[in-house]
Structure 1
Amino acid sequence: MKKVITLSTFLFLASFFASASDGLIKYESQYAVKETADRFENILKSKGLTLFARVNHQKNAQDVNLDLRATEVIIFGNPKVGTPLMQCTQDVAIDLPQKVMVSEDENKKVWLTYNNPNYLMQRHDIQGCDEVISKISDVLTKLSNAAVAM
């Protein structure tokens, strides 16, 4: 059976991989920043992950009379997954717990963004933890897809 990739699918995949090349993975959301962040938070809690903090950078900027487009960071994790990664290379702790940023760009598009686990693997020269990195990648992909799904 021959598989056909439509132009729109190709362009989506090309833009996705292009945005992942800088160490970040981005998903466009059709929801507002707060709603996307709320959806992500609710999904991660329903999956038994720990929410450590949620930072509203826009509100913090407003509190000191500065302007910033809507930007929130959700800090979360699971010690059962993060600890084995730190056991491979303790320096990765600087990038843990996991974080996602939900923000609005200058064109009013909303993005859910996180560090590519493969980038972290390279950054910290993590050896022998391919299974853990794969698990983290899968979880982040599933959480992100669910948060931005229509």
Structure 2
Amino acid sequence: MRALFLGLVTLLSVQVAVAQDGVISVESPFDVSTTLDKLTTVLESKGMTVFARIDHSANAQKADLELRPTQVLIFGNPKIGTPLMNCAQSMALDLPQKMLAWQDEAGNTHLGWNDPAYLQARHNIEGCDEVLQKVGNALGSFAKAATSE
């Protein structure tokens, strides 16, 4: 019974998004590579283009430096990005979208992305609440799918 309870608590905690300093993150039960592999599959199935995957830890290793597993996936779709840039062209600084998977010092994997509310404030966007809400919902949905077993 205790194992069932702990399993349920763990499962629920995976799906809770935490926003801090403009970054929303969720825990993933998978390692960094698997999390981004799953995210890639989800994004491509939703019509997103994956532009790049940057493995910062591999790049650090090439420079004889150490970094826990840390990878960024860069993706987008002009049907989503263009309305954001029409709200504020400076949004192009933060587009295409990015999601970061990293392993913390305790060995837990996290998946994070920019909070659309943070981007709204950063770019002084007014009157585009619906577009930002849709983007926020989509990013949350992508993250949930990538971190679900």
Same fold (TM over 0.5): yes
SS at match of 1:128: coil
1:63 is aligned to: 62
Q: Once superposed, which parts of structure 1, at least 4 consecutive aligned residues long, lie more than 6 Å away?
A: none
Q: Runs of 5+ in structure 1 lacking a partner?
A: 1-7
Residue 29 of structure 2 corresponds to which residue in structure 1?
A: 30
Distance 1:30 1:12, change over 3 A: closer
CA deviations 1:51-76 (Å, max 9, x no partner) are 11100001111111111000000000
Deviation, 1:12, is: 4.7
1:79-115 Cα shifts (integer Å, max 9, x gaps): 1111111111111110111000000000000000000
Coordinate RMSD, CA, aligned: 1.8
Question: Distance between the aligned counterparts of 2:138 and 2:77, measured in 1?
Answer: 11
Rounded to whole Å, the distance in 2 between the matches of 1:65 and 1:53 is 23
Alignment correspondent of 2:105: 106
Give the percent of matched residue pairs that are identical in Structure 1 and Structure 2.
Answer: 47
Deviation of 1:50 (Å): 0.8
**Aligned pairs for 1:1-150 within 5 A:** 12=13, 16=17, 19-150=18-149
Equivalenced residues, count: 139
1:5 maps to what in 2? none
CA contact (8 A) 2:88 2:123 kept: yes
CA distance in 2, matches of 1:86, 1:61: 33
2:100–2:111 CA contact under 8 A, matched in 1: yes
TM-score, normalised via structure 1 length: 0.87
Which amino acid in structure 2 is aligned with residue 31 of structure 1? F
Deviation, 1:137, is: 0.6
2:41 match: secondary structure: helix
5+ residue gaps, structure 2, are: 1-8
Inter-CA distance 12–38: structure 2 relative to 1 (3 Å threshold) = closer
Counterpart secondary structure, 2:73: strand
- Normalising by structure 2, we get a TM-score of 0.88
Letter aligned with residue 25 of structure 1: I
2:73–2:98 contact (8 Å) kept in structure 1: yes
- SS state of the match for residue 60, structure 1? helix
Residue in 2 that maps onto 1:4: none
